[in-house]
Amino acid sequence: MKSLLSLILCATFLSAKQPNIVFIITDDQGYGDISAHGNPILKTPHLDQLRSESVRFEDFHVSPTCAPTRSALFTGRHEFKNGVTHTVLERERLSLNSITLAQTLRDAGYATGIFGKWHLGDETEYLPSARGFTEMFIHGAGGIGQSYPGSCGDAPGNKYFNPAIFHNGKFVKTEGYCTDVFFRQASSWIKSQKEAGKPFFAYIPTNAPHSPYIAKPEDAALYEGKVDNKQLAHFYGMIHNVDQNIGKLLTELKDWGIDRDTIVIFMNDNGTAAGASVFNAGMRGNKGSAWLGGTRASSFWRWPGTWKPAETKALAAHIDVFPTLAQVTGLTLSEAAKKQIEGRSLVPLLENTSAPWSDRHLITHQGRWQKNADPNQSKYHMTAIRNTRWSMVSEKGGAEANWQLFDLTKDYSQKNDVSKDHPEVVKELSTAFDKWWQECLPLMVNEKAIGPKLNPFAVRFWEQFGGGPTEADYQRMNPNKGLEPSNNKPKRDKTKKTN
Count of Cβ atoms closer than 10 Å to residue 450 Cβ: 10
For 247-260, the pLDDT digits (tens) are 999 999 999 999 99
For 13-53, the pLDDT digits (tens) are 333 579 999 999 999 999 999 999 999 999 999 999 999 99
Q: What percent of the chain has pLDDT over 70?
A: 91
Q: Is residue 312 left, alpha or beta, with left meaning phi > 0 and alpha meaning psi from -120 to 50?
A: beta
Mean predicted lDDT score pLDDT of the chain: 92
Q: Are 202 and 189 in contact (CB under 8 A)?
A: yes
Reply yes or no on whether the pLDDT at 54 is more than 70.
Answer: yes
How far apart are alpha carbons 78 and 437 in whole angstroms?
A: 11
Count of Cβ atoms closer than 10 Å to residue 445 Cβ: 18
Cis preceding-peptide flag for 479 (omega within 30 of 0): no
pLDDT for the residue numbered 17:
77
For 362-398, the pLDDT digits (tens) are 999 999 999 999 999 999 999 999 999 999 999 999 9
> For the chain, how many residues are written?
499
For 213-247, the pLDDT digits (tens) are 999 999 999 999 999 999 999 999 999 999 999 99
Half-sphere exposure of 114 (CA within 13 A, CB side): 30
Reply yes or no on whether the pLDDT at 10 is more than 70.
Answer: no
For 331-352, the pLDDT digits (tens) are 999 999 999 999 999 999 999 9
pLDDT for the residue numbered 190:
98
pTM above 0.85, yes or no: yes
Identify the residue with better confidence: 108 or 469.
108
Half-sphere exposure of 318 (CA within 13 A, CB side): 31
Q: Domains, the chain, ranges and CATH?
A: 19-351 (3.40.720.10), 362-443 (3.30.1120.10)
Residue among 86, 82, 85, 87 at smallest CA distance from 101: 82
Task: Please state the separation of Cα 20 from the chain's center in Å.
Answer: 19
Average pLDDT over residues 180-192: 98
Count of Cβ atoms closer than 10 Å to residue 371 Cβ: 15
**Distance between the two ends of the chain, CA-based, in angstroms?**
70
Q: Are 383 and 364 in contact (CB under 8 A)?
A: yes
Q: Are 456 and 122 in contact (CB under 8 A)?
A: yes
Half-sphere exposure of 411 (CA within 13 A, CB side): 13
- CA-derived radius of gyration, the chain: 23
User: Residues 454, 460, 461, CA angle at the centre, nearest 5°?
Assistant: 100
Reply yes or no on whether the pLDDT at 3 is more than 50.
Answer: no
Reply yes or no on whether the pLDDT at 115 is more than 50.
Answer: yes
